[in-house]
Amino acid sequence: MMKLGVRAFGGFTIAVMLSVSLASGQGKRLSLQSAIRMAQEQSFEYKVALNRYQSSVWRFRNYNASFLPTLYLDGTIPNYSRAISRITLPSGEDTFVSQNQAYSSLNLGIRQNVALTGGVFSLSSSLNRIDVFGSDRQVSYASTPISVSYYQQTLGYNAFKWLKETEPLRFESSDRQFVADMQRIATQTVTYYFDMLAAQMRLELSAQNLASTDTLYRIATDRFSLGTVAQSDLLQLRLSTLNARRQLTQDSVDAVLAHQQFSRYLLLPEAHYELALPDSTAFFDLTFEQALQYAQENSQEVIDFRLQRLEAEQNLARTKAENGLSFSLQANFGLTNSARRIGGLLQGMENQQQVALGFSVPILDWGYARTQRQQAEADLAMVESQIEQQQLQLEQEVMLYTARWSLHKQQLSVATETRDIAAQNYELEVERFLRGAITINDLNAAQNQKDSAANGYLTALRTYWELYYTLRRLTLFDFENQQKLSFPIAADASNQ
């Protein structure tokens, strides 16, 4: 009778496990790496990261274009006016005259920003015409065939020089941020993946536990009729069966919710997906010194530190230039002429020169310039303190995850062995219960240990992948291939 019960119990359990496996196998099988790849190609977070990166690409291209020559054409064709206007005669008297005229102008030029000095160099050519209407129509022309100009607003502050330092760093930061965003997406995918995997595992365990308790209850009912099982044990088994049914219902709902969250994050179509257990783990040796070196060489934070310091120094330099003795320069040289006909513009050209050196110095500003400089200096000191604090936080974060990575190999090994032992122990406890050697409480304890060990193994596996992608994000380093991390989409976007 006992042997038949064991065989019946085992056959029923296998049947339930097969039915659960077949039910889940109706969907598409998806590995963790495939899910991460899909998230890095189609999720909303990827689209946001890509748009942010492409915006930085266009900003950097705009910065490069600002130092290239600009060819422009502007003018007024025509500017017509008819009015009675007040004019001053040579005698000093004012009078009103009727005006009916049109003014037209055309200007073609090349403008170039000079990064070395911070000024603007331009080369232009212009043609102007005035038409006076009336009984005696008159036309006159003025032309400047060539005009060379240079203008610089502040001699003590070169904004282009600072752009040359900050913009390449800003673009490098965005490039590294995109790669780091891909690692963040991978980490978030790990979270949703294991949430769904844990929900599926709990559902399978609930189905197995219900099958086990239901089979044990039927066997105990037969043995109760023979007087070999106490009524309290029979009632306890019945209660365990009801609890198992309730837990199966709850886990079914949780599995559906986890599946929806996973599918929405990856923008997957409405279909069932069977997730594969990513248990192929490989631990690489990594010391804190190595991880910190990779972080200092590759991470986005280090670039941001340099950029923040440069921007604070730029603000201080601009404040000093604007609130102290400052100079501006404007110079122009060209050839010009005026005539009644266009053909006469090239005859008798005259030189045109202009040089203006302006200056500004505050005499009495009630301490405004001094407080502006002190504020800028305080801002620079604050930024340096913040950078020092952020650097320390980065080192602490690298140290924490490096230490956790070094210890997790043993923790994962313990979790794996615990899971296997708990599963074997539960099978043995079932046989012992059927022989009457233990009580139902002992069997429930073994079942709880089995479920807890399975959940513990899955948690340890989740932690492994979270640590793996967190270390990649902190260091932007590919430890398997021993090279700096890159993402091909970034290169493609920059070449668009």
Closest CA to 29 of 279, 272, 252: 272
Contact at 8 Å (CB) between 483 and 40?
Answer: no
Instruction: Please determine, for residue 489, whether its predicted confidence score (pLDDT) is greater than 80.
Output: no
Query: Using one digit for the tens of pLDDT, what is the confidence trace for 150-205?
Result: 988 887 788 899 999 999 999 999 999 999 999 999 999 999 999 999 888 888 88
Task: Give 39's pLDDT tier (boundaries 50, 70, 90).
Answer: very high
For the segment 71-95, the average pLDDT, to the nearest whole number, is 85
The reported pLDDT for the residue numbered 18 is: 36
The reported pLDDT for the residue numbered 45 is: 93
Query: Using one digit for the tens of pLDDT, what is the confidence trace for 361-389?
Result: 888 878 888 888 899 999 999 999 999 99
User: What are the C-alpha distances in Å from 258 to residues 123, 251, 263?
Assistant: 66, 10, 9
257's enclosing H/E stretch is: helix 231-266
Task: Give 343's pLDDT tier (boundaries 50, 70, 90).
Answer: low
Contact at 8 Å (CB) between 178 and 300?
Answer: no
- Cα 416-418-419 angle, rounded to 5 deg: 65
Q: Which of 24-38, 301-315, 339-353 has the highest mean pLDDT?
A: 301-315
Instruction: Please determine, for residue 106, whether its predicted confidence score (pLDDT) is greater than 80.
Output: yes
The reported pLDDT for the residue numbered 464 is: 95
Q: Output 401 or 19, whichever has higher pLDDT.
A: 401
Contact at 8 Å (CB) between 2 and 223?
Answer: no
The reported pLDDT for the residue numbered 476 is: 93
Q: How many residues are recorded in the chain? A: 496
The reported pLDDT for the residue numbered 27 is: 61
Q: How far apart are CA 113 and CA 65, in angstroms?
A: 10
Q: How far apart are CA 135 and CA 100, in angstroms?
A: 11
Q: What six digits make up the tokens of 105? A: 């102008």
Closest CA to 76 of 25, 147, 41, 128: 128
Closest CA to 259 of 244, 248, 269: 269
Q: How far apart are CA 151 and CA 374, in angstroms?
A: 30
| Structural domains of the chain ordered from first start | 2-60+163-307+383-494 (1.20.1600.10), 74-114+119-157+326-361 (no CATH)
- SS3 (DSSP) at 49: helix
Contact at 8 Å (CB) between 344 and 165?
Answer: no
* Sign of the C-alpha dihedral computed for residues 435, 440, 442 and 448 taken in this order: positive
The reported pLDDT for the residue numbered 344 is: 66
The reported pLDDT for the residue numbered 282 is: 87
The reported pLDDT for the residue numbered 306 is: 93
Counting residues of the chain whose pLDDT is more than 70, the rounded percentage is: 91
The reported pLDDT for the residue numbered 24 is: 43
